[in-house]
């Protein structure tokens, strides 16, 4: 008869096997996406906005005319100090609302203090409107350095995501660690690392400790070991900017070496001891779940997700990581369980971040 640990090891191996195709597909898209970027440095007073007959707003500069991704709209709002929610409503509204957007943005472009903007275009859409100090990095090359260092440390790739704005990789060391706790039973977990990046300003380049509960496959991140904002030297020229390959390679190599060096310390005894302590500390803090859950929408949890969380906490299924007393750990596991239930992989990471932040609010170190 198999032991509990052997059963969980089989479950973990099955998870890895089932995700191989999705992981390969994501890695292929990550590699290709960097080849599709076109960058333009444009003075803000040279922007032209128009409401097209096809019911799409376009932003023009030079010989280019691009539609606007919601991320670019929000970044324009930040550049011109405008309410982003108002702009999103207008650009997605009726003809007259889109015209309000066009008139408003044209007025800001014409009259506001001139600033150089980096417009990042994919196909015929602007997905980013960034500072002209934003540094171009080769995400695929940095992720490859992460994977190479992870494999050398005995890790395996457990998940990969290529999203509209953000890319993620997650690795684990497939050695199951047993953590006995007084309030939430024995926790079976594996440790690893998550790396994320956005070519469009939606996320910093970050490398975080990743922990996964093997029973329920709930994942959660911990402290960030690298947080790089992609800022470099200001570019003064205007026009279509094609970064010299050696410039991109030099910046990317520096980040890749940093990632490699950090990955060598992820599984250090000091680091793993701190992560185990963080889990134990979270199991020792009892909470008023009604009060804590009611406050979650202020932290970004959607009402439908809150309702799912309440139901899961009420049922208290150990197979979902929900066993024992109402502790900080149990609530965090509830949130990461809901993360596994949502369809969007991007949203899954947002909820994992929310769970991690909740633990960090109570547990230091």
The count of domains in the chain is: 2
| CB contact set of 105 (below 8 Å; sequence gap of 6+) | 47, 49, 59, 76, 80, 87
Report DSSP letters for 183-227, one per residue: SS-EEEEEEEEEEEE-TTSSS-EEEEEEEEETTTTEEEEEEEEEE
Residues 301 and 217 in one domain: yes
Pairing mode, if any, of strands 125-131 and 218-228?
Answer: unpaired
Predicted local distance difference test score (pLDDT) of residue 236: 47
- HSE-up of residue 318 (Cα within 13 Å, Cβ side): 9
* Residue reference for tokens 């032991």: 3
Mean pLDDT of 64-77: 96
Residues 55 and 163 in one domain: no
Task: For residue 200, report the phi and psi dihedrals to the nearest 5 degrees.
Answer: -125, 20
Predicted local distance difference test score (pLDDT) of residue 168: 92
Residues 52 and 28 in one domain: no
Pairing mode, if any, of strands 125-131 and 64-68?
Answer: parallel
Predicted local distance difference test score (pLDDT) of residue 237: 46
Residues 79 and 117 in one domain: yes
Residues 286 and 311 in one domain: yes
Give tens-digit pLDDT for 237-283: 444 444 455 666 787 888 888 888 888 888 889 989 999 999 999 99
Q: Domain for residue 15, yes or no?
A: yes
Kindly tell me the burial class for residue 133, based on how many C-beta atoms sit within 10 Å of its own C-beta (0-12, 13-18, 19 or more): middle
Mean pLDDT of 91-119: 94
Q: Domain for residue 140, yes or no?
A: no
- Rounded Cα–Cα distance for residues 316 and 116 (Å): 54
Which residue range(s) make up the domain with 281?
1-34+153-227+266-365
Average pLDDT, the chain: 88
- HSE-up of residue 331 (Cα within 13 Å, Cβ side): 27
Residues 280 and 346 in one domain: yes
């Amino acid at each position: 008869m198999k032991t509990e640990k052997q059963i969980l090891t089989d479950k973990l191996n099955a998870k890895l096997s089932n995700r191989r195709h999705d992981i390969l597909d994501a890695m292929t898209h990550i590699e290709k996406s960097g080849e599709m970027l076109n960058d333009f440095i444009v003075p803000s007073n040279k922007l032209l906005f128009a409401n097209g007959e096809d019911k799409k707003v376009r932003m023009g500069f030079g010989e280019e005319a691009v539609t606007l991704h919601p991320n670019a709209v929000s970044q324009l709002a930040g550049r011109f100090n405008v309410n982003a929610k108002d702009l999103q409503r207008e650009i997605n509204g009726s003809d007259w609302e889109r015209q309000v957007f066009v008139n408003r943005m044209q007025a800001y472009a014409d009259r506001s203090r001139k600033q150089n903007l980096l417009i990042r275009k994919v196909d015929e859409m602007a997905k980013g409107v960034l500072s002209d100090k934003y540094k171009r990095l080769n995400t695929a090359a940095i992720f490859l350095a992460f994977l190479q260092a992870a494999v050398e440390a005995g890790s395996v790739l457990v998940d990969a995501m290529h999203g509209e704005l953000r890319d993620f990789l997650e690795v684990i060391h497939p050695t199951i660690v047993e953590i006995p706790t007084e309030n939430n039973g024995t926790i079976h977990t594996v440790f690893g690392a998550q790396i994320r990046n956005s070519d469009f300003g939606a996320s910093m380049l970050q490398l975080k400790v990743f922990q996964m509960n093997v029973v329920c496959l709930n994942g959660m991140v911990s402290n960030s070991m690298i947080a790089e904002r992609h800022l470099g030297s200001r570019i003064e020229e205007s026009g279509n900017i094609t970064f010299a390959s050696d410039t991109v390679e030099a910046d990317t190599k520096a980040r890749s070496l940093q990632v490699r060096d950090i990955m060598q310390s992820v599984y250090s005894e000091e680091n793993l001891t701190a992560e185990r302590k963080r889990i134990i500390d979270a199991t020792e803090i009892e909470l008023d779940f009604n009060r804590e859950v009611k406050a979650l929408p202020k932290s970004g949890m959607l009402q439908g997700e809150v309702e799912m969380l309440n139901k899961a906490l009420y049922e208290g299924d150990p197979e979902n990581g929900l066993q024992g007393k109402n502790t900080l750990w149990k609530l965090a596991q509830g949130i990461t369980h809901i993360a596994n239930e949502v369809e969007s992989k991007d949203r899954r990471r947002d909820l994992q971040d929310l769970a991690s932040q909740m633990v960090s609010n109570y547990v230091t170190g």
